[in-house]
Amino acid sequence: MRSSVQTPSTSGRGQEQRHFSARLRTPSPCTAHPSICPTTPRPTPVAGARAVRQKRQLVNTAAVTSGRGDAGGNGGGGGVVLREVLTRPERVKLDTGDDSAFYDMPRFVKHVDADFLDQVTELYRQRIPEGGAVLDLCSSWVSHLPAEMYYTKVLGHGMNAAELARNQRFEAYFVRDLNQEPDGWPLADQGLDAVVCCVSVQYLQQPERVFAEIYRVLKPGGVCIVTFSNRMFYTKLALQAIAAWRDASGFARCQLVRQYFQAVSGFTAPEVLTAVNRPADQQQQGRAGGGGFLKGLLDSPLARLFRRSSSDPFYAVVAYRNFRREL
């Protein structure tokens, strides 16, 4: 459902609350274009994490044009949905209540283990260009972007304003129920270098339209990274995940997310990853010797299986708008 504090939408389609947080100082009022309000640039992510920030929330209205185009009504930039991936029964959740009520209470927790999140961070490090503009979709109080890397803009989206306000990486954020309003986000066409979504794709009931909107806001060559695992929390994943996700294996879930990308015209062929090669892994293998027995043992299929089974399984599906940009 839409957020609890609402203002009339100029489009007449409904009401919504959008929250934005100002960094270090109060920005000048937003212009008529309802994209992200200007804020003070952050000097470095490390300094930004230490800075004392004054946050405020702005309630903005936006015209939604045919469920496509930017929220300011520029139009014409959205991806074309070629087909529906899910049937109506596959979109159903066990919890049929109000989503906004479920997310009303902030939860300052992490749903996956450190090894999984280390791989997420390394994948972001490898695929997101430094200095780029990033949207963390379906996010919360912490993002998993590399701390040492600088981005010109990091925007957040989620369902709980208190969680988003605590996220130290966000320059601005907005609250929106994507199951009720999957498109018409308050973001300009082709303005982002990356959109990331960590352990939340399973909750989308209209993924085709959400992925079309991802395509709209990405620059040509921009990347979308979707990461997920297989952990099932009864109060969260089991109740909020759609039926198609609950009933699927890890392999089938990868194929499902691949189909979300393939359902929108313009994405590159989706790439499925079940592990990310990290520098720490390479160093460990290097210490084992140039080509000795121990190195072979550490790099054996059995060793990789053990490492994978001892932590939350890692899955990622990656695709680009139009083409892959070389970093």
- Among 45-49, 134-138, 219-223, name the one with the lowest average pLDDT: 45-49
Nearest to 127 by CA among 60, 66, 194, 213: 194
Are 314 and 210 in contact, with CB atoms under 8 Å apart? no
- Residue 18 reports pLDDT greater than 90: no
Beta strand pairing call for 15-16 and 7-8: antiparallel
- Among 23-32, 81-90, 276-285, name the one with the lowest average pLDDT: 23-32
Read off the pTM. 0.72
Domain regions of the chain by residue span:
7-280+310-320
**Top-confidence residue, 286 or 200:** 200
- Among 29-38, 123-132, 159-168, 235-244, name the one with the lowest average pLDDT: 29-38
Reduced to 3 states (helix: H, G, I; strand: E, B; else coil), residue 70 is coil
Enter the DSSP assignment of 236.
I
- Residue 302 reports pLDDT greater than 70: no
- Residue 168 reports pLDDT greater than 90: yes
Distances (CA, A) of 145 to 118, 240, 272: 10, 26, 20
Q: What is the pLDDT of residues 21-64, one digit of tens each?
A: 433 333 333 333 344 433 334 444 434 333 323 333 322 323 22
Cα 47 from Cα 55, distance rounded (Å): 17
Q: What is the mean pLDDT of residues 197-204?
A: 94
Nearest to 145 by CA among 231, 245, 42: 42
What architecture (CATH level 2) is domain 7-280+310-320?
Answer: 3-Layer(aba) Sandwich (3.40)
Token couple for 19: 């929250």
Q: What is the pLDDT of residues 248-270, one digit of tens each?
A: 999 999 999 999 999 999 999 99
Enter the DSSP assignment of 323.
S
Q: What is the mean pLDDT of the chain?
A: 75
Label residue 170 by pLDDT band (50, 70, 90). very high
